[in-house]
Each structure stands twice: as structure tokens, then as C-alpha cells.
A = this chain, B = another copy of it.
Amino acid sequence: MSDNKVYRASTTAPVNIAVIKYWGKRDPKLNLPTNSSLSVTLSQSDLRTHTTASCSPKFTYEDSLLLNGSPQDVSGARTQACFRELRALRKKIEAENPSIPPLSTYPLNIVSENNFPTAAGLASSAAGFAALVRAIADLYELPSSPTELSRIARQGSGSACRSLFGGYVGWEMGSAVDGSDSVAYEVAPASHWPNMRALILVVSAAKKGVSSTTGMQTTVATSALFPARANEVVPRRMKEMEKAIAAKDFETFGKVTMRDSNGFHATCLDTEPPIFYMNDVSRAAIRIVEGINNAAGKTIAAYTFDAGPNAVIYYLEENEKAVAGLFKAMLGAKEGWGGNRGVAVPVNDEAMVKVESHAAAVATTLKEGVSRVILTSVGEGPMKTKDSLIDEAGEAIH
């Protein structure tokens, strides 16, 4: 009797946006970083990857992955590393329990969907690899903790390790050559500081800049300022940031976030040839955040930029009008203000009047350069779901 069952497990996983940036690999193959980093996990209501992992003895094809309806190449070293590590863990369980089905020997069929446009230029690989690893671990009924899985997801995409947790998440760089201690950990759950909000300004860029993998390798190889960042500056900031989160001290959280974003982009500029991810629109967003904080007399908004021109602006719920409300008044009609969260943002016309007299040119640059906004908040880590993207016969559900 042949087993024709299709084994399935589904999960959703979040996007995370770092406040202490990951930039630089000490081991490119294992994605081992040159410094620790720290991120905020964003709510899956707004941004998530939904993944179903399946396997079956009846699957005749090789391992496969369908992302947003398009077949993906899974032969790359990174995806293969994740498959290999997860299968090895399953094999161990199978060896201990000969009665369970030998799932590790079946081809994997994975279907994945993002609830946000890839074109937005948001780092989708973090959510993607976190969901992939979590879904396969669930499929294999692995007893692994999120930290153990983070070690595997890291090999798929460095920052993916941080998407295995919700809330405020650290990634300890570690020191072991095999990467065994380079894992993510929970700094604080989302419930500790639940009123953290994020406004993402999606900037329409003429063309994609240097890929982050290539960029960080070049920075490590050529930037004269990089060693100071990796060896001295970031270790100090990691401590400051963990303390700020523990104390729910937005002032420090915001200042360190902005400092670290600028410091990261400074090492990009110090790279040979220089790497520019921010453009004049990004800089306009910085000036407006500075204006908001100056008007408030304290730091109530904090910008951060990944390897692209999009601005992510953190703020607390109680300052929604002062921060997101000003951008809503400034940007006018843009995709994103229409959603539940967007509609709820009060338009801050009063503050806009002041901006128009002080920084009209900056506001114009921003309005012309931002294509859409995303409103979100701190959120939870990967979640199991019964909503399967693959049917009982093993076919992708469209």
C-alpha cells in the first residue's frame, strides 16, 4: 500500500524593520554578520508572507516554490541550506521514531503569497524565509524553538532570523565559526510596548540601487570608517537600544534609531564606489521629521532607511496626529490613506500651515516623490494558520 497523503502546514510571518542595522557579513556563505542588530516586527495585518509547505511521496517533481503565482528557483545555496537543515532535523526525529512517516525523504512543494506589492521595494526576503522555515518546521513537527529556527532562516536571508519573533527582536552576531550562536532573540514582546506605530513612505525610485548583498560586501572591503561602526559604535548602541525598549523610552529609541540609520548610510557613502540609497525625497522626509520633533520639543518621530529610498517612520500611537497626521496633510491623496489604519489618521492641517511657510520646497519634493504609504504597528511573530495555499491533492489554490 502506497502512502498518497499530502502533508501540509501553513504559517504567516512578518516583515521587520531594523532600528540598529545589519550591514556587513563576516561569513557570506553562512550570512554571519559583522555586528549585532535589532528590529521591530511589523504587524501581519498590514505586511506578511503567507506560506504553505507540503510534501508527499506522490510528488514526483523536485522541491518547488511558487511565490505570488510565479515559480521560483530553489536551487540557490541559500534556499538549499534551509531545506537541508530542516530535513536533517526531521531525519533525526524519524530515526528516533521509526513509526512516523519519512517526510524528510519526500519532495517539498511550497506556495507563498505576500499581502503587499513586491514593487513597494520592501524587504520581503525576511518575511519570506521566516515563513518558509516556520512552515516546513511545522510540517515536520519539529520541536525547535524560534531561536533554533532563526539560525536556519538566517542562512536563507540574514535579517529573516529576526522575523521568527514578534515585538522587539535582537540578532546576536555570535562568534562561532559555524554560526551556531548567531541567532535571534526576543528583546521584548509586542505587548510590552504595543503602541509603537510605523508609517512607511514608499518612494518611487528611478532604478533599484546596488543589491544589499553586493553593497555590504563592498562596504566591508573598502570603507575606512566601517570598522569603527561594526566594532565600537553598534555594540554601544545595542545596549542603549535594549535599555530604551525596556524602559519604553521613545526619546532614546528614536534618537538611536535615526543615528544608526544615518551611520549605516554614512558607511555606504564611504564605500568605493560610493553607494547611495537615499535620494532627495528621502532627505525631504528627514527634514520633515526633524521639523516635527523641533515643534514637539522632543523626539516623537524617528526615521530609518534600509537599502533603498523608502522612509520608515516610527512614532507612538498618542502622537499619531502630530506625526502621521502631518504627512497625511502634506502628501494628499496617496494609496494607503484609504485603508483602515489610514482612514483613522486625523489630517493635521494646523501643523501643515506652519510647514508651508517654513519648508514648502521640502514638502513639494516629498509629495512628488512618495508613491504610496503604509500604516502599520509593532506586531506578533509567525502564526500557524488553517488557511492553506495548497489543497489536499497537493495543488496550489488560486
Contacts and interface: CB of A to CB of B under 8 A. Distances in A.
Chain A: interface size category: 20 to 34
A265 B267 CA distance: 10
A286 interface: yes
A290 interface: yes
Interface stretch (A33-41, A70-78, A107-115, A255-263): A255-263
Nearest to A270: B266
A233 B228 CA distance: 11
Interface string A289-322: 0100000000000000000000000000000000
A57 interface: no
Contact of A266 (B227, B266, B273, B283): B266
A390 B266 CA distance: 49
Interface in A317-368: 361
Interface stretch (A118-126, A150-158, A274-282): A274-282
Interface string A92-105: 00000000000000
A266 B206 contact: no
Given A265-B269, A276-B283, A283-B276, A259 B228 contact: no
A244 interface: no
A225 B272 contact: no
A372 interface: no
A384 interface: no
Contacts of A283: 276, 279
Given A225-B233, A228-B227, A206 B262 contact: no
Interface string A44-68: 0000000000000000000000000
A229 B225 CA distance: 7
A210 interface: no
Nearest to A294: B273
Interface of A: 206-207, 224-225, 227-229, 232-233, 255, 258-259, 262-263, 265-267, 269-274, 276, 279-280, 283, 286, 290, 361
Given A225-B225, A225-B229, A258-B272, 7 more contacts: A206-B361, A224-B232, A225-B266, A227-B228, A262-B270, A266-B267, A279-B280
